[in-house]
Structure 1
Amino acid sequence: MTAQERPDDHRTQAHRADQALEQLGRLSFAEHSSHSVLQKVADLTKDVMPGSIEASVSVVVNDKPSTAVYTGQLALDCDESQYGHGYGPCLHAARTGEVTEVPDARIEPRWADYARSAAERGSLSSLSVPLPVSQHVRVALNIYSREPHAFDEDSRSAAARFAPYAAVAIANMHQYQSAKAEASNLQVALQSRAVIDQAKGVLMERHKLTADRAFQALTQASMTKNRKLRDIAEHLVHTGEFPPAH
């Protein structure tokens, strides 16, 4: 590559990175699943980085790794090889928060068994960028190249620019999903309370019990039948049978 060509290449890569970041910034978390957001991160990474590469996103939850999304079989194979060995650049990046590069898998002294396997699969160099999400959820954006020494300063700079935006997108998605789960759990709790109150009312009317005695009767039936209190209450409200026959 000539000196005249390099600035144009740099500007092209920077322009692609800017476009990718803009796309991430426009994502609506109410309209995307966690999987679709992560897939967008991987796809945009493949678009931004030069050369023949594949990308993946590894997620480590409570020290259990899995590949959430990937752009090609090479990336998935390399990820799963690391999980099988229990070590490798993507796991190191996710667990330590360090950007981890393998310049040439054929002579990589770290993680020797994995590196040999990666080279055999066709990944001769890789770059793993940590994406901090939470204490219990650790993520790495992995870029696998079919060429050795594929990542120069411009590539590393592009990945470094891209990763924080990707981390924010993933963290926001994780928080959104957590909020939805909390809201769903609250709705279930409110529904359970409502049906239990209805069942108490039935017992109070039928047997002239106080509210406390009616609740104790429901609790006793729950323990005797080894069924959830809500199930006992729903059966009573819907059938009038108390305690349930089964």
Structure 2
Amino acid sequence: MSAPLLAAKSISVRLGGRTIVEDANVTLSAGEMVVLVGPNGAGKTTLLKALAGLVPCFGTVEFEGRSASTLTARERARRLAYLPQGHSFSWPLPAGEIVALGRYPHADPFSPVNDADRAAVEQAMDITGTKDFAERIVTSLSGGERARVALARVLATQANVLLADEPTISLDPRHQFVVMDVLRHAAKAGGAVLAVIHDLALAARYADRLIVLEKGRIVADEKPATALSPQRIAAIFGVEADMIRIGEMQVPLVRRPL
């Protein structure tokens, strides 16, 4: 059996004298769409940043059996793409040029754009529905449009592992489904996706596995129907939920705070 695309063991993060994430184990295999849920302050963003190498942590991270500590920054960026929350852009560049920045890990800054780069950018913009505003300055776009440009940029990297922190934030209902479909397609094409999602119903509908984080510790890593039982939702999120059936899936419907 081949090694997981990402295997993180005993990940702990301490910031400002506080433990934010404690002893977390995360495995992502090819073809998996995994969703990370938890209440505000549970440590979800910090865990993603630790896996991406953006904050110091204890523990080990491996990519297909190779320790992340042996990889250069460029090698790591070819294996893992990270989509932060917020979708803010500092430079007033055309959206198409922003997406093309996703190809940076594949060449040095002075290399000309090649056919593979152009094909990757075009495919990413096609999948995310951003080609129509490729020439528009990214800072002039709506929040939802910027979110899709940001997603296109990480897809253009063509990394095997994609970490997405609240990728559906600021999106209308239709584009929430569009983005989740894109992420699931990226996983089913042979990659692996770990996404932070606050909408429990959306998470349950798309996840192959759900990881539940509470106060920095993983308390569940299971199929959605098991991970998000009404009892666990009440205990961790402080809300009452009913389970409803959508097709063959059991999906939580949040009713009221407890």
Superposition TM-score tier, normalisation by shorter sequence: under 0.3
Whichever structure has more strand as a proportion of its residues is 2
TM value normalised by structure 2: 0.27
TM-score by length of 1: 0.28
* Structure with greater contact order relative to length (CA < 8 Å, sep ≥ 6): 2
Name the structure with the higher helix share. Answer: 1
